[in-house]
A and B are shown apart, each in its own frame.
Chain A
Amino acid sequence: MDLILVNLIDGLVTGLLLFMLSAGLTLIFSMMGVLNFAHASFYMLGAYFAFQISLALGFWMGLLIAPLVVGVMGAGVERYGLRRVHQYGHVPELIFTFGLALLIEELVQFIWGKNQMPYEGPDILQFTAFAIAGNSIPAYKIFMIFISVAIFIGLLWVLTRTRVGMIIQAALTYPKTVEALGHNVPLIFMGVFGVGTALAGVAGVIAGPVLGTFPGMAFVLGSIVFVTIVIGGLGSLWGALVASLLIGWITTFSKAYNLRMEDLLTTFGFTKPEPIWDSPWRDLWSITSPQIADILPYVLMVLILIFRPYGLFGKRDA
């Protein structure tokens, strides 16, 4: 029971982190119909900028400034890159963001090198918040949960309760009408792109000390984020939340509990072939759940696509 609670917290941290990325990604998608392949690259940039700033001004200034810088860069990319490529259609847009992801990774290697950066959380959070049956929960994890939830509530409030949010929601569905009413729709698009990438930047700032700040960090998380929004349903914010938490918990639990395929197969009445090392099914028999934890999201995605192609919360025609 205690172990379940610990894993619930761990999974929540992973899930909320994923959500911070997938929220921005899904917002951008529902608005422009383009999937930003470079989204995770902005997450990486957030971590690197925060590291660089934290060397001079400390962690908290990094948390404040780095997402702003990333957001401005994101807005710039939309204004001078995507808007230009938009005329060629969706596929070139996707290829453009793919090239951008490539370029940002190379750029990061060019500036900071290939090694992991010694980026660490603030000293003030280096203590154990509480312990559950001997498993200590670091305060930094609680801080991560707190930040993500605060951002989620803030985002929800802006989108549903403010005038800006109303205009954004209207622009998502009827951009032409909103434009006819005198709003600057391209500016709104640029703003949302900037905010989305800034969110990814925040995720990078707070995940950098935990998951490591290295040139491959965008790649590690990037494809999982795409899987998340496909599972949740493209363009659905709630879907992104549910799918993020689902993936967070699934991977955490399958890593924590060592379920073995052997036991599962024996329960279903299969007999283990002897000798096992010579059987063509040896890999199937030796699979354990921690081993496949990282590919479970992809399996889930394929299953969802087969049985519910529009995702958990997606609209049928999306």
Chain B
Amino acid sequence: MTDQSTTNASKSAQGVRAGSMMLALTPWCIAAVALLVLPFIFTANSAITIMNQMAITIIFALAYNMLLGQGGMLSFGHAVYAGVGGFACMHIINNDAFFSQLPLPLLPIFGGLFGMGLAMIVGSFSTRKAGTVFAMISLGVGELIAACSVIIVAFFGGEEGISGDRTYGLPFLGVEFLQQIEVYYLIAVWLMLSAALMYLYSRTPLGRMANAVRDNPERAEFLGYSARWVRFYSFVASGFFAGIAGALFAINYEILTEENLNTTQSGIILLVTFLGGVGFFFGPILGAIVFTLVQTVLSLQTELWGFYLGIVFVVTVMFFPGGLAGLIMMHVPAMRLGKLSVLALPYLRTLGAGFVGCLGAAALIEMVFHVRHASVGDHEMTVYWTTFDSHTVLPWVLAIAATVVGFWIARATAPSLAAAWSEANTADGGQP
């Protein structure tokens, strides 16, 4: 899904275009096949629930990245557009007369339109400036609407939210969406559709102008484009796809509450998008998949998962501003040179040791937490499938040893990794 420009002189221009077309379509075909096949591999109900959640997060994160990555606008209240889209869909579901005439798969369009409508209203004054001012306004508006949700009970349903039954819709090709798997395929189709649309949007002149306005609004203005209108269009388009994500949430969970549009939700989507990487189209997809998986696994294992997440996030912002996608794409030059194998052993040494160090540090954190906050007399705890007494010396010595030795080896081997890195990125016979 990245731009691959093939410059092979022996091929005709036509052939090159067809070739790059094939190359551009490959990831999409793989994704479509994967979406089709996945429920046959992971048949458990819980797995399908996770995949649904993942797909919704992907759409939302991609919509968010239209602002953050492509438009350079940082929003702290984007959950509002998804939430309002979802709430509107819930009201449509509860409106029997209308809903019985509407096939369920068309519902997300309405969610998108409502999200877009709200984005048009808010965008009319918030897109005047990018950067800090935009971020502040998005936060304020987000807070305002989230706070309204407990006051305007008729629309937001107060604290218990509103719920409905998706199965009352007009049967679509005989499917009534009673089962989770049917909902999965509905969401999967919408995922492919909206991801493709968002990708194509980023290829349009408007999408390109959004990049230009992000990088240098003044210059874009001199070229005769209104930076404000470009930002407005990005904002509205992003609101549309966020609304679709909200509608899919409404279809999947059949309930929406204040939690769907509060600031915490907005913060999570920022986290997901940034961890995945804002610089590439597939970054947010990666972020959503990894985040949902890690959240599902870690939140069952430890109470402190938010703490680890915070650390990982701050470290990412400080040292890897490209996120996960940026880290992966860093290896493309080495791959082109065919020298990826040079990196394998140094990676194994440094990252392996670093990983042991992190495990040790995490164990230390868990033990400190247990000693401080467990009920009095409860000395037994379980870390890494091992149960032990947290008030004895041995586990502490082990954890500290793992931390210190792991990080020390990682630090000691870092120079050799750096050397291998520059070696891998240098063409044979070239200057380093």
Contacts and interface: CB of A to CB of B under 8 A. Distances in A.
Interface string B154-168: 110000000000000
A283 B153 contact: yes
A84 interface: yes
B147 interface: yes
Contacts of A111: 372
Contacts of B306: 102, 106, 109
A298 B140 contact: yes
A34 interface: yes
A298 B317 contact: no
Most B Cβ at <10 Å: residue of A85, A295, A306? A295
A92 B321 contact: yes
Interface string A220-259: 0001001100100010000000000000000000000000
A295 B151 contact: yes
Nearest to B153: A283
A280 interface: yes
Nearest to A87: B321
B132 A85 contact: no
Given A99-B313, A99-B314, A295-B148, A94 B140 contact: no
B74 A94 contact: yes
A39 to B, nearest CB: 13
A270 interface: no
A33 interface: yes
B267 A103 contact: no
A105 B309 CA distance: 12
A302 B80 CA distance: 16
A98 B76 contact: yes
Contacts of A99: 271, 310, 313-314, 317
Contacts of A113: 372-373
B274 A95 contact: yes
A294 B151 CA distance: 11
A309 B124 CA distance: 12
A223 B143 contact: yes
A121 interface: no
**Chain B interface, DSSP helix/strand/loop, else mixed:** helix
Contacts of B271: 99, 102
Contacts of A35: 132, 135-136
A297 B141 CA distance: 11
B318 A90 contact: no
Interface residues of B, number: 46
A95 B318 contact: no
A291 B148 CA distance: 10
Contacts of B128: 309
Nearest to B214: A91
A106 B314 CA distance: 13
A230 B307 contact: no
A65 interface: no
Nearest to B140: A301
B267 A102 contact: yes
A299 interface: yes
A298 B136 contact: no
A95 B74 contact: yes
B311 A103 contact: yes
Interface in B224-252: none
A96 interface: yes
Contacts of B140: 223, 226-227, 230, 298, 301-302, 305
B51 interface: no
A209 interface: no
Contacts of A110: 304, 307, 365, 369
Contacts of A94: 74, 132, 135
A264 interface: no
9 contacts: A35-B132, A81-B314, A85-B321, A91-B68, A91-B135, A95-B270, A106-B306, A283-B151, A305-B140
Interface of B: 68, 72, 74, 76, 125-126, 128-129, 131-133, 135-137, 139-141, 143-144, 147-148, 151-155, 263, 267, 270-271, 274, 304, 306-307, 309-311, 313-314, 317-318, 321, 365, 369, 372-373
Interface of A: 29, 33-35, 81, 84-85, 88, 90-92, 94-96, 98-100, 102-103, 105-107, 109-111, 113, 219, 223, 226-227, 230, 234, 280, 282-283, 287, 291-292, 294-295, 298-299, 301-302, 305-306, 309
